[in-house]
Structure 1
């Protein structure tokens, strides 16, 4: 009886888990420019002499020249040049005469900040910034009646008390100007678009994303780099029209990993109809005489039919000679990567056939007829697979998905999956392994 586990459509829609790599490159200079564009002019204004610390100071802080950003591994080093205006209250008593009032002064400092960066599962860039050190460019100086007011120590206390406002401003700008989630969503949706691999065969590559991972952001040669890995299933689909893309799914939570696996798999399919396989087998066997027991018995195979029974291929062979009639053999088809041919393993008689032979033609069992048939049941499919690989590789050399978006990859090793039996065909499915990148140009953050 014919029985099948798979349909042709199911084989063509078989999914293979893969990873699509999306390189992320953020020039440090671009980040520096964005931060300087947002942090400018007045940063801090304390217009009251009285506060919780009773420091008797008013102050204003300005950025006086561009902030410089240097990135090393997963840290940023910021150099922030500031001009500070201070109005300080004083009270002195030279020669026993008490004098009091307020004096203004300006001075400049350069603060060095260190920021550790990380990414949360909701795609929010996090930076933890703290003051490493600062240098006086010009020092504060106030004199009243020839007496120096100790404004430098008061200014230091003022700075130490208000550094948090500067570091918070830096953290906000880093988080707001590295928009990873927005660009990850763009890559996620682009990855879902079907790619025409071979127009002449109506073959499409479809990626169904299921998860997303990312390596830590690390800086090298003034570029902040990472790799986003879009995990999903690849499908090689035959369709005269562009396959329908499923509804947009929400971008999943991010997982940070040490390394994104560069594993992309494409299913390459070769198929042989039962009729063609049977015709080829009949041609191979035509005119061949199989002798048994030193030539006492002889048979010839004059026709072959084939069909599937779950995972086994059934061969109905019509015999003439010392025995007339049909016998049935079963074997498991497999793709041999060394010979690049479709072959059979364990070809043996069907149970009913074997019982019948035992009663009427036991010599047929002794002659290892089934082993001889197994050696004949080979079908070349390597050219189909090589052609499919060549076609897909050509498409992946520099595939333009849309303006500014390039899909590029290489296919290397081929490993067999299995042979599937459907009502019409024997499908040999192999995996072409490789690496595929999706590069998004002209978009901030990539």
Structure 2
């Protein structure tokens, strides 16, 4: 009887041991130092057309020039004292001339000019001072050029139409002196021209507007919340073609040379630095834009995405099955190591290794020649041969794929939403079109998987007006 009980106990313990999960202890392939997280990024080009209404220039010029717009009280330096007042708002229009389009400025003004004639001989001053009173409308034409972020003008006085006959004060009375004053216009002609140039130049300093717009545009924005992907634009240089007048606007065609990066994980810091942006003059800005986007996925973030593929999945046959509880990936000797933490018929962590590749058809990053690392394979062959078999490995490999199709589609969709009159700030609008996104290559670094993507299309960031 005792023998029977002992035999029964032995059989029960044997059955129990067969149904109990097996423990597997494998050696972890420690990560090594891959190339540091420094990679060559091919620059992209974005159009930056700037459109400024002449009405905006007119409004800003009028706000800068009010009432007494010029005063020179020193008669000793050039024998002239001068005061000029603006009588009513200045108007600025496009003047289409045979020589080209220019700015036409109409300035209603009045002026008081003291003009001293005479000499100083042997310490004796022999001067005769005359005071002229002017009231009229001055018309000026200005050529336009771009210099150091500003639209600058070269203004010439073209005509002066008197509202009242010019007068000269004689014995306290205003005496008409039209025949005298017309030749004397050159006295203050240069003063008026330089004053208009200075006012327009100040009103046309678009650098603060452009840099504010660029700072907004270069602030990383989230492209996909689920994949935690962000687009970051890092400007390098700004190109500008000659400014042109068209109808009621200034048109300034600019382009931005920049690096475009897609980063996965937490919100990245901006790399915008206004002090490092260089403005260069060119004759023409290309319309077709090539965006070379770098997609940076840290191993930690890639592990998180792959981990989702294993949720609810069981691997094995019959009673011999395992579930993946956690996934971690890293780099070692040019390969990706994938650590799978198992629970089920086998408990423990197994390690696979393979080369990351890209499947252009499915838009996935997968691992070519994925196999168990040597120590893991040896342990499985001894303790859980069924798990080491090719069929199970193939099923596991199918889940070790990092699909970027949603990233590409969502990225394109999100970017398109930013290319349909998106306005990051008043007066700034982003428009454009995109063609298919093309994958270029993959590079491994110490900390991340780097994917290089090329996009053709057009991106226009227009600055409309001056605020």
User: Quick check: TM above 0.5?
Assistant: yes
Report the CA distance between 1:445 and its aligned residue: 2.0
2:195 aligned residue (169, 183, 200): 169
Q: Does the C-alpha gap of structure 1 residues 172 and 269 become closer, same or farther in structure 2, counting only changes over 3 Å? A: closer
Equivalent residue number for residue 418 of structure 1 = 441
Equivalent residue number for residue 116 of structure 1 = 143
Q: How does 1:14-413 map to 2 (within 5 A)?
A: 15-44=41-70, 60-71=83-94, 75-84=102-111, 108-121=135-148, 123-140=149-166, 151-239=177-265, 241-246=266-271, 248=273, 250-261=275-286, 262-267=289-294, 387-399=406-418, 404=426, 407-413=430-436
Q: Does the C-alpha gap of structure 1 residues 87 and 196 become closer, same or farther in structure 2, counting only changes over 3 Å? A: closer
2:264–2:296: 8 Å Cα contact kept in structure 1? Answer: no
Distance across 2 between alignment mates of 1:211 and 1:426: 28
What is the DSSP-based 3-state SS (H/G/I as helix, E as strand, rest coil) of the residue aligned with 1:254?
Answer: strand
Equivalent residue number for residue 433 of structure 1 = 456
What is the DSSP-based 3-state SS (H/G/I as helix, E as strand, rest coil) of the residue aligned with 1:219?
Answer: strand
Moved more, 13-22 or 386-395: 13-22
1:4–1:421: 8 Å Cα contact kept in structure 2? Answer: no
Distance across 2 between alignment mates of 1:423 and 1:79: 66
1:67–1:80: 8 Å Cα contact kept in structure 2? Answer: yes
Q: Structure 2: 5+ residue runs without aligned partners? A: 1-30, 118-127, 307-330, 336-354, 367-397
Q: Does the C-alpha gap of structure 1 residues 310 and 49 become closer, same or farther in structure 2, counting only changes over 3 Å? A: closer
Distance across 2 between alignment mates of 1:414 and 1:105: 72
Q: Does the C-alpha gap of structure 1 residues 112 and 212 become closer, same or farther in structure 2, counting only changes over 3 Å? A: same
1:4–1:310: 8 Å Cα contact kept in structure 2? Answer: no
Moved more, 30-39 or 193-202: 30-39
1:14–1:235: 8 Å Cα contact kept in structure 2? Answer: no
1:88–1:151: 8 Å Cα contact kept in structure 2? Answer: no
Distance across 2 between alignment mates of 1:425 and 1:169: 58
What is the DSSP-based 3-state SS (H/G/I as helix, E as strand, rest coil) of the residue aligned with 1:263?
Answer: strand
Equivalent residue number for residue 390 of structure 2 = none
What is the DSSP-based 3-state SS (H/G/I as helix, E as strand, rest coil) of the residue aligned with 1:201?
Answer: coil
Equivalent residue number for residue 286 of structure 1 = none
What is the DSSP-based 3-state SS (H/G/I as helix, E as strand, rest coil) of the residue aligned with 2:154?
Answer: strand
Q: Structure 1: 5+ residue runs without aligned partners? A: 91-100, 277-306, 312-330, 344-378
TM-score normalised to structure 1 length? 0.59
The total of aligned residue pairs comes to: 341
| CA deviation profile, 1:110-159 (whole Å, cap 9, x unmatched) | 322122222223x2442221222333444336899xxxx88224312332
| CA deviation profile, 1:47-96 (whole Å, cap 9, x unmatched) | 7999857xxx9865433332221135763221222334578999xxxxxx
Distance across 1 between alignment mates of 2:85 and 2:143: 24
Distance across 2 between alignment mates of 1:401 and 1:34: 23
Distance across 2 between alignment mates of 1:410 and 1:152: 62
Distance across 2 between alignment mates of 1:205 and 1:440: 21
When the two chains are superposed, the root-mean-square deviation of aligned CA atoms in Å is: 5.1
Q: Does the C-alpha gap of structure 1 residues 47 and 434 become closer, same or farther in structure 2, counting only changes over 3 Å? A: closer
1:266–1:433: 8 Å Cα contact kept in structure 2? Answer: no
Distance across 1 between alignment mates of 2:50 and 2:134: 41
What is the DSSP-based 3-state SS (H/G/I as helix, E as strand, rest coil) of the residue aligned with 2:275?
Answer: coil
Q: Does the C-alpha gap of structure 1 residues 4 and 18 become closer, same or farther in structure 2, counting only changes over 3 Å? A: farther
Distance across 1 between alignment mates of 2:102 and 2:82: 31
Q: Does the C-alpha gap of structure 1 residues 111 and 267 become closer, same or farther in structure 2, counting only changes over 3 Å? A: same
